[in-house]
Amino acid sequence: MSDSKRFKIGCIGAGNVGATAAQYCAEMDLGDVVLFDIVEGMPQGKALDLTQAGPIRNSGSLVKGTNNYADIDGSDIVIVTAGLPRKPGMSRLDLLEKNARIVSDVAENLRKYAPQSVVIVVTNPLDVMTYLMMKKTGFPPERVVGMAGILDSARLRAFVAMELGVSMKNVDTMVLGSHGDEMVPLPEYTNVSGIPISQLLSKERIAALVERTRKGGGEIVALLKTGSAYYAPAASAARMAEAVCKDEKQVLPCAAYLSGQYGLKDLYLGVPVALGRNGVERVVELKLTVEQSAALQKSAGEVRKGIEELKSMKVL
């Protein structure tokens, strides 16, 4: 990680999530941003537009668009959103294989041009792609982290705030596990200005909000018809970049490499971590109920299944 005053942030993939992450990073003035994509002209056009928005948004960040990986040289942080969304008729295995090849190519270039960077992976299936990125780059596991828990927690926070008619700023929560249907929300770690949610809502309403959180991405896809969520995922990735840039050591739920924590080894899974200049500074272990531990193990099983599928494809 460089000690220069200006951080350099690479965003790999200039689609909706990548370009919006670049926008948020620039607006937070975290550093200068390089927006990469293989589509000629697209990252250049979006980057120029974002740079011109800077004076209006009171940002000093320059955003550069490129089709050349060499332009991310020396990046301190790299946000990886490159990959295909799941399309009608495409099986989960199809998506896994196609995105695995994309992530492998990205990893090769990060090893070459940004060998000291902290890598934030957004590409789905998230936990498996983060594991693949760590293996393919050869980076220390703490410098490769996945974006999932912040997004899932933000969704639960938003739903609780909407239900109670309170400010979202006052709601804190925690979601563990893999990104998707196997996530493990923790209602007892959810509070409004320190007041446990159990004192404010019935068990039935809490269960309904938890279920809505599980299906949060699908709800947006159903409404949009031709796309998926990108504002909140991009904001989540930018929030992680901020924690790294500012060396906050903020405790945030992220997909982190586990080496025995929660009784799990050699996989990535959503857990609370202290996120700072070196990436994952430490994994925070929470006390879980028997049911929550079982749900986390089930979530881990889905991730292991994806890793084994990558091995059978000879990608890993």
Q: So which residues are the catalytic ones?
A: 179
Those residues with Cβ within 8 angstroms of residue 234's Cβ, 6 or more apart along the chain or in another chain: 16, 17, 18, 20, 21, 23, 24, 81
- State the amino acid at position 270 in one-letter form: G
Identify the bridge partners of residue 306 per DSSP, sorted by sequence position: none
Those residues with Cβ within 8 angstroms of residue 83's Cβ, 6 or more apart along the chain or in another chain: 13, 98, 99, 102, 103, 123, 124, 129
> What is the sign, positive or negative, of the torsion defined by CA atoms of 40, 41, 47, 50?
negative
Contact, 63 vs 50, CB < 8 A? yes
Contact, 71 vs 34, CB < 8 A? yes
Tokens of 80: 């990886």
Those residues with Cβ within 8 angstroms of residue 94's Cβ, 6 or more apart along the chain or in another chain: none
Rg for the chain, CA atoms, rounded:
19
The three-state DSSP-derived secondary structure of 33-100 is EEEECCCCCHHHHHHHHHHHHHHHHCCCCCEEEECCHHHHCCCCEEEECCCCCCCCCCCHHHHHHHHH
